[in-house]
Amino acid sequence: MTKTFSRDIAGNSNSMLYLQIAMMSCCIFNFDILWNLKESLLITRLGVEAIPFIKLTVVMPVAFVFLIAYSFLANRLSKRTLFIVVLTPFLIWMPLFSMVIYPNLDSFAPRALIDQLSPHIPEHLQFIAGLLYYWPLAIFFALAELWGSAVICILFWTAVNDFHDTQSATRQYPLITMIGSSASIISGPLLYFCVSRAVATPGSGWQESLETLSFLFVIFGLLILLLNEYGYRLTPEKITESPDQNQTTTNLPLIASARYLFRCPYLASIALVMLAYCVAINMVELAWKSQLVQQYPNEADYSMFMGKVALINGVCSLLCGLLTPTLLRISWWAAAFATPIILTATALPFFLVAMIQKTQINVMGLGCFDLPMIGIQIGMYCHALGKSAKHTLFDATKEMTFIPLDAERKYKGKAAIELVVSRVGKSGSSFFQQILIAIFGSLALAMSWLAGAFVLAIALWLLAIKKLGRHYHAKTNR
């Protein structure tokens, strides 16, 4: 399919716009399910200190394996077949996990190995033994993290970018991100309803809720495949595209991918923006969750609270989505700077409250206020606004910067940035958090260090946006 034809489709076909909105809604719905479960199952068992260790030792290797497999398959399959092959393992894993693995977690535990290693592990790092015991939950966490990078950022947005030029993206991306991300308005209450049965029915209730969510995940995953197939029917020329003509991620190994990024200043600027975002959001999220798990130690209670957060995410996505086209009309810079500004405005008050080593405070004789709960509420809105801005303002501006690139840089660069750079950002920040845990014993005692790292990441982010904006406007002559 020619570039001109793909642009005509993006500009003239309402059907394609509705299809892309529906696909993103399904992707976000499944993202909310995985995001809710991966933390509810793991954090309530092992504590939030286990997350940096998992991101460094499990998630990053899994992401690299996926990148290698994706690169291998992309050279041999058409985009249409590649989409199906990448998505299908997720749809198999969810029912397998919920109906076979999770009910028999104890059976999968390597007890003999744990008994040998546990005496040699320091007390404040005993969650490592717990991770070995619950290793299926660590795999679930890694695959849940991969959904956002592999399915949403690579599969979905690569398909969307193929149908748009800079002008149509400016017009339609705010709609796609706003309406698609607002699916959380539905998924949040639905998650809360499904999990509430676990509280009402102790024992088997949580297992039934897990199976229900797994069923919903598969249904929405199949809808994504059907919508993608319908998209190819709207553009029949794409069906005849051969793997040799399909210039997606090609034979770039990991080291070559890094060199490829640094040789191109434009891609390097996008990579810096992604790196800074991952570090900043990882710092504030882990700090917030370290407070949250103390208030909701039960997996069902934690999951129900996250259902409420998902609803707030959906509402905030609508607000950020409505803001996106207005800011884009002002300039690309205005929309790009909005996400770090929103995140900073909400994260700094959270860190300030979290660093006050008191459980209650009396304000001018008006009464005592529960500081930990106030911190959780501030952190909740920081998380909701940060995630909402990411899926609307951040994604829209980031994806627009890929459009002016040629096919080779667009596909190779995008895969390297979404998988390698994002993983390096999250794993690097997780390594820093792991050092803090080893020194202080917990993240709650290292809030000032987390806040300092967050501020540095925001400063890098702002500088990277300024540099990327210059490259983008030079490419588009705007």
Encode pLDDT of 331-343 as tens digits. Answer: 899 999 999 999 9
Mean pLDDT of 132-150: 88
Q: What is the dihedral of CA 393, 415, 285, 208, to 10 degrees?
A: 100
pLDDT top residue among 397 and 304: 397
Q: Which residue has the tokens 């690309």?
A: 332
Q: If you average pLDDT over each of 48-52, 187-191, 313-317, 343-347, which comes out highest?
A: 343-347
pLDDT at 162 over 80: no
Q: If you average pLDDT over each of 197-206, 221-230, 290-299, 430-439, which comes out highest?
A: 221-230
User: Chain-wide mean pLDDT for the chain?
Assistant: 80
Least confident of 4-8, 90-94, 189-193, 235-239: 4-8
Other Cβ atoms less than 10 A from the Cβ of 349: the count is: 16
pLDDT at 1: 41
Both tokens of residue 114? Answer: 């744990």
pLDDT at 12: 45
CB 270 within 8 A of CB 398: yes
What is the C-alpha separation between 210 and 282, in angstroms, rounded? 26
- Which amino acid is present at 87? L
pLDDT at 37: 87
Mean pLDDT of 350-362: 70
pLDDT at 361: 53
Mean pLDDT of 297-318: 84
SS3 string of 273-325? HHHHHHHHHHHHHHHHHHHHHHHCCCHHHHHHHHHHHHHHHHHHHHHHHHHHH
From residue 267, give the alpha-carbon distance in Å to each of 148, 149, 157, 260. 20, 17, 17, 9
What is the C-alpha separation between 34 and 57, in angstroms, rounded? 20
Q: Specify the 3-state DSSP secondary structure of 370.
A: strand
CB 64 within 8 A of CB 258: no
Mean pLDDT of 58-71: 83
pLDDT at 201: 61
**Comparing C-alpha atoms, which of 382, 319, 341, 395 is closest to residue 148?**
395
What is the C-alpha separation between 370 and 382, in angstroms, rounded? 18
Local structure of residue 361 (DSSP, 8 states): E
Residue 217: pLDDT band (50, 70, 90) is very high
pLDDT in tens, 418-433: 777 887 888 788 888 8
First to last CA, the chain: 27
Mean pLDDT of 100-119: 85
What is the C-alpha separation between 470 and 467, in angstroms, rounded? 5
Percent of the chain with pLDDT strictly greater than 70: 85
Give me the residues paired with residue 67 across strands. Answer: none
pLDDT at 7: 47
Q: What is the pTM of this model?
A: 0.76
- Which amino acid is present at 205? G
Other Cβ atoms less than 10 A from the Cβ of 88: the count is: 12
Biggest alpha carbon–alpha carbon distance for the chain = 74
pLDDT in tens, 400-424: 888 887 766 777 677 778 777 887 8
What is the C-alpha separation between 350 and 444, in angstroms, rounded? 13
pLDDT at 434: 79
Percent of the chain with pLDDT strictly greater than 90: 16
pLDDT at 336: 92
Least confident of 59-63, 125-129, 308-312: 125-129
pLDDT in tens, 6-63: 444 444 467 788 888 899 999 999 998 998 888 888 888 877 778 888 888 888 888 8
Other Cβ atoms less than 10 A from the Cβ of 330: the count is: 9
pLDDT at 226: 93
Mean pLDDT of 68-90: 85
**Comparing C-alpha atoms, which of 37, 310, 396 is closest to residue 198?**
37
Q: Which residue has the tokens 């809808």?
A: 223
Exposed/middle/buried for residue 99 (C-beta within 10 Å: 0-12, 13-18, 19+): middle
Give me the residues paired with residue 361 across strands. Answer: 369
Contacts by residues 98-104 (CB-CB < 8 Å, ≥ 24 positions apart): 98/210, 98/211, 98/213, 98/214, 99/211, 99/214, 101/136, 102/41, 102/136, 102/207, 102/210, 103/207
Residue 205: pLDDT band (50, 70, 90) is low
pLDDT top residue among 91 and 247: 91
pLDDT at 375 over 60: yes
